[in-house]
Structures are given as C-alpha cells and as structure tokens.
Amino acid sequence: MTSPVDDLINVLQLERLEKNLFRGESRDIGSPRVFGGQVLGQALSAAQQTVHGRTVHSLHAYFLRPGDVAAPIVYDVDRSRDGRSFTSRRVVAIQHGQQIFHMAASFQVEESGFEHQDPMCDVPPPEELASAADYNPDGEIPEKLSRFVTRQRPFEFRPVQPPAFVTTEKQPPRQQTWFRVVDRLPDEPDLHRTMLSYVSDYSLVGTATLPHGISFLESNVQVASLDHGMWFHRYARVDDWLLYDCDSPSASGSRGLARGQIYTRDGTLVASTIQEGLIRVWSLKEAREQHRRNRKKK
C-alpha cells in the first residue's frame, strides 16, 4: 500500500495536460470539502513547473468556492512576467466549469542581503508534548472529528496548548503547534516548499475562534477560509520539526484574521502566513435552514 506521505507527494505532483495546463486529484481528509491547503499546494506546484532557476518567495490566494473531493481540479497557469530577477505567475483552479480558487505567486533569483527576524517564543520541545491524535478525553470527541484527528496522515501535529476541539472555554487568540512530515522526504527544495504551503492552512483561521468559546463542531457554526497569504523567508525541510506560532489580532463582520510564523527548532524564521476566514454563528432556525439547503444541493 502507498504510504500517506507518498500519496501526498503524488497528489501534489499533478498531471501535465498542456504547456500551462495541469490536472490534480483530491483526497478526503475527513472534511466535507476539498482541503484548502491541498488546492494551495497544487496551485504552487503547477506554477513551479513553469519556472526554472528561481524559488517562490510569496503567494496570495483566494478561495472562491468549495471544492468537490470526487472530481479532478484543473489548474491554468498564466505566465504573467519573466523579469531579470523576479518571475510572476497567476494560477486559476477550475472545477465543474467554474473557478474555485485563484492565486498569484512570485519567484526570485536567489540573492544575499540584510538579515533580521522575530525571535521564536519559548515553548516546550515536541518530544515533551502529546500528538493531536491522542487528545480524546473520556471519549468525548464526536465520531466525525475522531476520524479526522486519528486517521493516518502525512503530517504529525503536537499542539503546545490543548486543541480547541477539547474545550469551549474562551482562550487568548494565540496557539502554537509543532509539526513535521512523518517520513523522510526527497532532497527536493520545491517539494518541501509545496508541502509547507499545504500544511500552512491547518488551524490558522481557527485561532480567531479561540476568544469566543465556539467550536466548528457545533452545527450552528460555519468556518471557512477566504484567502491566504504566505511569504517564504528561508528554506527549511518539512520532515524536521517546525513550530507554527499563530495569533489573531482582529475579528469583525463575520470574519476573523489570523497570522502565523513558522520556525525551525533552532529558532530560524522560515515563513510567515496570514489568512482571513468566514466565521458565522447561526441561530438554531438558521442552522436547520442551511442544512436543508446543503442537502438540496447534493
């Protein structure tokens, strides 16, 4: 059988249909729609395959529609510009004849220059923390979430604080999680960057729910990513432990903003992220009506 890591590598590699056209498959990770990080990683992979001798330093994306896990996704790459130092690409993801996602990414010839960074916060090392899969106090986690948390994954997560799904107590809008790919990866820097973009969508917008004592498990709560920005500062392997330090500076208008910084074990800042997400809490009547509409769409 194919390991979860090998399967994810295959999912991110894509099938080339034409010079600038690619097709990808999806995987069910236990959520009702295609995982946003998968679309992000596949779009970056498509862009990377049209760029040579340069590495991605930033990307900016919008999630437009939920993805269908059962259908392939086509990625159309626009070669916007190839300059002397920078290359720009725009990628549109299409499913069932509609755009579900679009992304702009910028690539740069490697250069040296000034260096500074924020320091990493003081947290316990991953060896002293439990895996997220071990959080199931008294069997209270619903079966649906248990399948999501405990299923075999290409990544292992070790949260510094107890995950939000084990409590609805209001907490400060900040959380840290160690993560890594569970197997050794090939020495291919573009693959490690693609994997990093994939995993960067985990738990980011959820940070904005922490001060409000709500859980995405509740039937009247709707949480969805709206956009995603990412900056790659320095290269890092994702099969070594990395710390994802996330905070949320604001929530308003049914939207929550979250920021993240990703560090190596020695405190080197390798990437920064930012994401705004939709956060709605329906009344019981509204939740029932929304459930009815969703069933009708199926």
Domain regions of the chain by residue span:
1-108, 126-298
| Active-site hit among 26, 176, 201, 248 | 201
Mean pLDDT taken over the chain: 89
21-25, 82-86, 153-157: range with lowest mean pLDDT: 153-157
Q: What confidence tier does 207 reach under pLDDT thresholds 50, 70, 90? A: very high
Q: What confidence tier does 162 reach under pLDDT thresholds 50, 70, 90? A: confident
**What Å distances lie between residue 65 and 14, 75, 102, 283, CA to CA?**
21, 15, 10, 24
pLDDT greater at residue 220 or residue 293: 220
Q: Given this structure, which CATH class describes domain 126-298?
A: alpha beta
169-172: Cβ within 8 A, 24+ apart? 169/213, 170/210, 170/211, 170/212, 170/213, 171/210, 171/211, 171/213, 172/210, 172/211
Residue 225 a catalytic site member:
yes
Q: What confidence tier does 33 reach under pLDDT thresholds 50, 70, 90? A: confident
Q: Can you give the pLDDT at residue 176?
A: 96
Six-digit token pair at 239?
A: 């099969």
| Active-site hit among 38, 45, 203, 225 | 225
pLDDT greater than 70 at residue 187: yes
Q: Can you give the pLDDT at residue 217?
A: 67
- Predicted TM-score (pTM) of this structure: 0.89
20-24, 129-133, 176-180, 287-291: range with lowest mean pLDDT: 287-291
Overall fold of domain 1-108: Thiol Ester Dehydrase; Chain A (3.10.129)
Residue 175 a catalytic site member:
no
Listed in sequence order, the residues at least 6 apart from 160 whose beta carbon sits closer than 8 Å to its beta carbon are: 123, 124, 129, 175, 176, 177, 178
Domains 1-108 and 126-298 share a fold: yes
pLDDT greater than 90 at residue 244: yes
